[in-house]
Amino acid sequence: MHPGRFFGKGLVIGAAVFSACLVSTVCAVRAAEAEDVRSLVAKIHWLGHDSFRIDGKDVVLYIDPYHIKEGPMADLILITHDHGDHASPADVAKIRSQNTVIVTIAAAAQKFSGDVRSVKPGDTLTVKGVDVRALPAYNLTKFRSPGIPYHPKEAGHVGFLITVDGVRIYHAGDTDHIPEMEGLAPDVALLPVSGTYVMTPEEAVKAAAAIGPKVALPMHVGEGIGSLDDAARFRHMATVPVIVLPIEK
């Protein structure tokens, strides 16, 4: 056999082997990255709408419980604003014990009794070992009537940036894509995507890119507002990893 031909064939085989190894390595890296992303959301339970339960090592935390079943008793409940589909005394009663702490804005705090701590945008505190930072949540383009937003900035509604077991989680609350989101870079971002009162899927895609999370979870669908199709559209268009959690009812 001509040496040149043998060498040429060997080169082709070598390139093929190298390509296979490269593909295998890339796939392994991507699989590891996907596993890392899944691990970030392993203890986050979507209860529908904007409601979540987060099971920390030493804390059970709920955000905006609404139309939920009875579940594990809450150590900490975070409520983003006073609207009835977020600040629901009937739902809080299902998960509240005498040791539960509620953190919310003043307008919602008056709906509850016990250990209730009021916050406004910019406030930080640590409760039950959870670092909590209240961030603004408001509308720029969603109006109930001309010039009157559904969620005015002046109302002081909030989202929350929290740290549970070393994982930083941003619950945006009811909001549009606002400047205060820029560069937050949490591990997990919980983002509304239904439109009408909050971001559309297209707007949420831009917000996610500005926020820069490791993974985004869509919310604020169902309850007569938006649908899982909106969550799927967001996942399809997003430039960050997206997981649509199952709704646990």
Average pLDDT, integer, range 60-86: 96
pLDDT band at 198 (very low <50, low <70, confident <90, very high): very high
Ordered by start, the domain boundaries in the chain are 44-237
pLDDT band at 33 (very low <50, low <70, confident <90, very high): low
What pLDDT does 59 receive?
A: 97
pLDDT of 34 higher than 70: no
What pLDDT does 9 receive?
A: 42
Write the pLDDT tens digit of every residue in 75-133.
999 999 999 999 999 999 999 999 999 999 999 999 999 999 999 999 999 999 999 99
Across the chain, what does the average pLDDT equal? 89
User: What is the C-alpha separation between 138 and 213, in angstroms, rounded?
Assistant: 20
pTM summary value = 0.86
What pLDDT does 16 receive?
A: 54
- Among residues 132, 133, 107, 138, the alpha carbon closest in space to that of 122 is found at 133
CATH of domain 44-237: 3.60.15.10
Q: Describe the strand order of the beta sheet including 124-127 as a list of residue ranges.
A: 124-127, 130-136, 158-164, 167-171, 188-192, 215-219
Write the pLDDT tens digit of every residue in 132-181.
999 999 999 988 898 888 899 999 999 999 999 999 999 999 999 999 99
User: What is the C-alpha separation between 30 and 28, in angstroms, rounded?
Assistant: 5
pLDDT band at 1 (very low <50, low <70, confident <90, very high): very low
Q: Which DSSP string corresponds to 130-197?
A: EEEEEEE---SS-EEETTEESS-GGGT-EEEEEEETTEEEEE--S----GGGTT---SEEEEE---TT
pLDDT band at 249 (very low <50, low <70, confident <90, very high): confident
Place of tokens 């649908």: 227
Average pLDDT, integer, range 35-53: 90
User: What is the C-alpha separation between 58 and 246, in angstroms, rounded?
Assistant: 24
